[in-house]
Copies of this chain bind each other. A is one copy, B any other.
Amino acid sequence: MTQKINHNYKKLEENYLFTEIAKRTSDYMEAHPNEKIIKLGIGDVTRPLAHKAVDAMIESLQELKKGDSFRGYGPELGYGFAKQAVIDYLGQYGVELHADDITIGDGIGSDISNITDLFHKGVNKVLLPDPVYPLYKATSLMDGQEIIYLECNEANNFLPAPPDFASDMIYLCSPNNPTGAAFNFNQLQAWVDYANKHNAVILYDAAYERFISDQDKPHSIFQIPGARTCAIEFCSLSKTAGFTSVRAGYTIVPQELEREGMKLNRMWQQRQTTKYNGAPYHVQRGLEAALSPEGIKQADENIAYYKKNVKLITDVLDEKGIYYTGGHNSPYIWFKCPHGMNSWEFFDYMLDTIHVVGTPGVGFGHFGEGFFRLTSFNTYEATKEAMERMRTIL
C-alpha cells in the first residue's frame, strides 16, 4: 500500500549532544557541589540588544494601539524599508542587490529549511561539509535526499574544496558553525565555479559574517563573480545584533538563478506569499534600525566584547602551540584535543580537572572526532578565569 505519511522522518536521529553535555555536567556538580563550573559551550548571544533596535520596535508597537496608525497584514516578502536596509548594508561590501532579490523573514532556521520546498524530494545529491551544523543534515534526511559528506580536517583547515564529481545542492556556512573557519575569496570562487559548472545550487549560511575581521574573507557570497547564477544566501540579525529571541533575517535569491527552466526567485516568492504572512511590522522596523550605521555601531560593540573573549582563548592555544580554526572571524574556536584524546575524553578531562565545559567536536559529525569547540559568549571575567585554568592542563 502506498505510504501517505512522510516516512523519511524515521531517519532522523535524536541528537543527544547537548542532553549528554547537560547530564555529565549536572552529575559532576552533584558530586562536587563546591566546584565553580565555567560554561564555554554557550551557542547563543548574551549581550543586551542594541537600544536603537529595541526603541524602534517599541515605537512601532505603540502605533498599533491607535486606530489611525494601526497596521494589519504587511507584504509577505518584506517591507520596502527593510529590504532597503539590507541593500544598503550589503552595499558597503560592493554587493549590488535589487529589492526583488530579497525577502525578509524570521531568521535563517526557517528560510534555509523552507527553501527545500523548491527542490524535488528523494532525488537530489546533497553535499554537507562534516563537521556540520545539524539543521542541514536533518532537513536533507526529512526530504529523503542522498547525503554526501565532505571531510573537513587539518589538511584543508576545515574548509573543503569542491569534489571532482557532480552534486545538486551544497550547504556552505562561512564563517562556519562549529569550526569558525571562513572561506577566503579564492576558496569561495572555486565553489561558485563548481556550482555553475554542475548546475548545483549553493545554500550559503552567512549568519556569522559580522564577525569577519580579515580583509580577504567575503561577507556575502554575492561578492564572488558568478554567484548570482548558483547561490542563495541566508543571513539573520541573531549573531549580528543579538536578535535570537526577536527573530529577524533576510534571504537573497537572485533573479538570475534558474534550474530546469524555472526561476528559483519566482518559486521562493510563490512559496513565501503562499505559506508565510511576513515578518512582524515592528520587527522589520527593528531590523531597519539594527542595520543602520548607528545600529551596527551598537552591535559591533557587543561583537568587540565577544572578540576580547576570543583573544583570551586563542592566546592560550597559540602559547601552547595547539592547532585550531576560527576565533579571528568567528565567536567559535575549534581546536585539536591535546594529549591525543578524543572529543568526549577531553570533555571529561576538562570537567574533572578544571571544571570548564565546552562542546565535543564529534557531536557535529564523524570528522569532528578529536576536536573541541569553545565559544566566546560567556563574560570576560569567566572566560579569563577559564583560560587561566586551561593553561595548566594543555
Q: Which residues of A line the B interface, CB within 8 A?
A: 2-7, 9-10, 12, 44-49, 51, 54, 57-58, 61-62, 64-67, 70-74, 106-107, 109-110, 113-114, 117-121, 123-124, 135, 138-139, 142, 168, 242, 244-247, 259-260, 262, 264, 267, 270-271, 274-283
Contacts and interface: CB of A to CB of B under 8 A. Distances in A.
A72 B245 contact: yes
Interface of A (DSSP majority class): loop
Contacts of A70: 46-49, 242
Given A7-B120, A44-B72, 10 more contacts: A2-B120, A46-B67, A48-B67, A58-B62, A64-B246, A74-B245, A109-B275, A110-B275, A138-B274, A139-B274
A157 to B, nearest CB: 29
B245 A280 contact: yes
B280 A3 contact: no
A8 to B, nearest CB: 9
B4 A120 contact: yes
B72 A45 contact: yes
A342 to B, nearest CB: 27
Nearest to A143: B117
12 contacts: A4-B259, A4-B260, A6-B267, A44-B72, A46-B70, A47-B67, A48-B66, A49-B64, A54-B61, A54-B62, A54-B64, A114-B114
A321 to B, nearest CB: 34
A279 B138 CA distance: 21
A261 B262 CA distance: 37
Given A106-B106, A246-B64, A262 B123 contact: no
User: Which of A58, A66, A139 gathers most chain B CB within 10 Å?
Assistant: A58
B73 A44 contact: yes
Given A73-B245, A113-B274, A123 B47 contact: no
Contacts of A71: 245
Contact of A119 (B4, B124, B260, B280): B4
B280 A247 contact: yes
Nearest to A278: B247
Contacts of A7: 120, 260, 262
Contact of A277 (B51, B106, B259): B106
A185 to B, nearest CB: 29
A246 B106 contact: no
